Chain A
């Protein structure tokens, strides 16, 4: 199994280290530069299927470790979706068992400094508790940041490639080169954007998301994906809300999957295509828009998909 992962990745540890040192200077200036861009055409997607969430995350951490880990970063900024005052089985937030698995996996790798900044939709004091995220975070001694109150952490960033969004105030945990950025969203239906998976999750990391709604929401979501490029995207599709999103309660399906990629556009495109009916998936126009901006690959035919069952 291990062998398969390594050959599937296309990058050996040695070549990664070499590349990493060479790109170090550039990376320190622009740490969020997509790995997918460097390997255009050979974007990799891993799909892990299981009913055991702890095992799933163990496998996920093995894949991450075998494919470069988190680079040189000693700290991690993790963006989960914990926006709604809803219990885990509604599927409105990232499942706390997966968050727990990720945090304990990071601790095993020696990464102990993990922050989870989140700008919630419902009041944070209820949301973090009901979603179970707070419990998972406290168990692993990571720290949650309520961006709704901690306004100081927002920093104005320029989006050079942005078409609609030219400037955004983004939580600086996600732009600070000291942090490896990981996006860990839940895949679900969304009334406004069609679907919300990985890229749409960044709306919980900016100060004025209201502005996006007035200025071509889909383009803004695509634009932000040129600035916020996580090293890893891990999509929670253990259960998916098929309608009445983003908060439900709606119809639930249980694909029992997580989808992993270094390219968030590819992760979004793959999840949209495999998890949702065509009529819903086609409404998420931002995926194609992001691909057109060069933020990643949206063509599933160009992806190297590795399916694993644990």
Chain B
């Protein structure tokens, strides 16, 4: 006879493997392909599962659903992809912690790793309530400070290791997962019992004899802390008056503007993991507004935003990156390139160089001729999409390129005919 415990483990491991394979959707990581086909040569991109499946791991969390609902002010309510999160919410109401015990992939890992533990109590107090209400209220003011603690977002983030997209800045939010594995050895299930904000949401919504009004009364302390946390989130953290970096970041296509993006991004890094050129990575601009900390941004020295790719727009669980069709992505301006004339080989008349003009896939760089016959690049801001290939290919590095892409205040759809 299959005991209930054994059945639970089989189901849990099934969901763990399922969510892991969903995260691996889209182009498979290169090291894996190299293992599969050793030897020299070019390795073709292999896509076993369509890339949009990645979204279904962080996207089913009702917590990030609720948070993004607030930040969107309900305007994207019609999206069909919210449906699974609602189903999960219903499960919460009727079945309580069923999700945690049978489905949650993060819970499975934590439960498996603390089978042998020291049974100590390093964290006696439950802090999950404070985190939960902190997320709810800070989402309302547009900067969900602790949303990255959502367990499904945390699990998605672990994939950075697998895809080899880890950067220095992504280590800090990426540490949540391993740190609680270690803490779990001291105090079993410390994450699930004491910290997980989604777990608190489950407890709060589970139907019981206690009325919901009574629940609010009982949790007044947590709620007040949540409101208190949202005040600095609104005044200090979101718009850091001490930030010296004033220029706009280059955000993935479909992100809209800086404020909306940082209000919605749950730092799950699904977009980073599906970016084929690695232009999208986690940054830590410490001199910028805190809203930008640890969010995925583009840096054209790492790669270029490929003309025929809209991977990142397909995987965002919170809608921080809106889904764009190929045509819309092709016409979206995420930045504008600018020639730094003092550095440019052609403008300084040092040599005949029009590499940026050659590389621009959108024919957005024109040339003017100097008196002595040197063609010099001039960017057409109504055609430039900000893909960064000019900056990436520019032969000047002293240390920066002579043509650099800067972010735009608000991304817009261009209407260039080709």
Contacts and interface: CB of A to CB of B under 8 A. Distances in A.
Given A213-B345, A214-B350, A129 B44 contact: yes
B42 A144 contact: yes
Nearest to B418: A249
A213 B355 CA distance: 8
Contact of B40 (A123, A150, A247): A150
Contacts of A145: 40-42
A247 B361 contact: yes
A122 B361 contact: yes
Contacts of B357: 191-192
Q: Which of A143, A190, A217 has the most CB of B within 10 A?
A: A217
Interface residues of A, number: 35
Q: Which of A144, A192, A218, A246 has the most CB of B within 10 A?
A: A192
B306 A192 contact: no
A213 B395 contact: yes
A125 B41 contact: no
Nearest to A144: B42
Given A85-B361, A123-B306, A144 B41 contact: yes
A126 interface: yes
Q: Which of A85, A122, A209 has the most CB of B within 10 A?
A: A122
Q: Which of A121, A130, A190 has the most CB of B within 10 A?
A: A121
Given A122-B361, A123-B276, A125-B45, A217 B40 contact: no
Contacts of B262: none
B219 interface: no
A217 B44 contact: no
Contacts of A124: 42
Contacts of A134: 42, 44
A46 interface: no
Interface string B256-289: 0000000000000000000011000000000000
Contacts of B307: 85, 122
A126 B306 contact: yes
Contacts of B42: 124, 128, 134, 143-146
B17 interface: no
Interface in A188-203: 190-192
A244 B277 CA distance: 25
A211 interface: yes
Contacts, number: 88
Interface string A136-148: 0000000111100
B358 A246 contact: yes
B202 to A, nearest CB: 42
B304 to A, nearest CB: 7
A245 B358 CA distance: 7
Interface in A226-268: 244-247, 249
Given A129-B44, A150-B40, A192 B345 contact: no
Contacts of A190: 358
A216 interface: yes
Contacts of A110: none
A214 B306 CA distance: 26
B41 A192 contact: no
Contacts of A245: 358
Nearest to B353: A213
B244 interface: no
Nearest to B345: A214
Contacts of B358: 121, 190-192, 245-247
Contact of B355 (A144, A210, A215): A210
A190 B353 CA distance: 12
Contacts of B308: 85, 126, 130
B393 interface: yes
Interface residues of B, number: 35
A216 B41 contact: no
Nearest to B395: A210
B300 to A, nearest CB: 13
Contacts of B309: 126
Nearest to B30: A149
B245 interface: no
Nearest to B39: A143
B304 A123 contact: yes
Given A192-B352, A192-B358, A244 B363 contact: yes
Given A125-B45, A150-B40, A192 B395 contact: no
A216 B351 contact: yes
A215 B345 CA distance: 10
A213 B351 contact: yes
Contacts of A213: 345, 351, 353, 355, 395
A125 B43 CA distance: 8
A212 B41 CA distance: 27
B177 to A, nearest CB: 29
Contacts of A216: 351
B354 interface: yes
A300 B303 CA distance: 43
Interface in B176-218: none
B15 interface: no
B99 interface: no
Nearest to A142: B41
B359 interface: yes
Interface in B372-389: 375, 389
A209 B276 CA distance: 23
A218 B351 CA distance: 10
A146 B27 CA distance: 17
Contacts of B393: 121, 210
A119 B54 CA distance: 31
Contact of A121 (B277, B345, B350, B359): B359
A212 B345 CA distance: 12
A252 B393 CA distance: 26
A214 B359 contact: no
23 contacts: A85-B306, A85-B361, A121-B393, A122-B306, A123-B303, A126-B306, A143-B42, A144-B41, A150-B40, A191-B375, A192-B352, A209-B395, A210-B393, A213-B345, A214-B345, A214-B351, A214-B396, A216-B351, A217-B351, A218-B352, A244-B363, A245-B358, A247-B359
Interface of B: 27, 40-42, 44-45, 276-277, 303-304, 306-309, 345, 350-355, 357-359, 361, 363, 367, 375, 389, 393-397, 418
Given A128-B44, A134-B42, A145-B42, 15 more contacts: A121-B359, A125-B276, A143-B41, A143-B42, A144-B41, A145-B40, A192-B353, A192-B357, A192-B358, A213-B351, A214-B345, A214-B350, A217-B351, A244-B363, A247-B359
A-B complex: 9 closest residue pairs judged by Cβ atoms = A210-B395, A144-B42, A143-B41, A213-B353, A213-B395, A146-B42, A192-B354, A125-B45, A191-B354
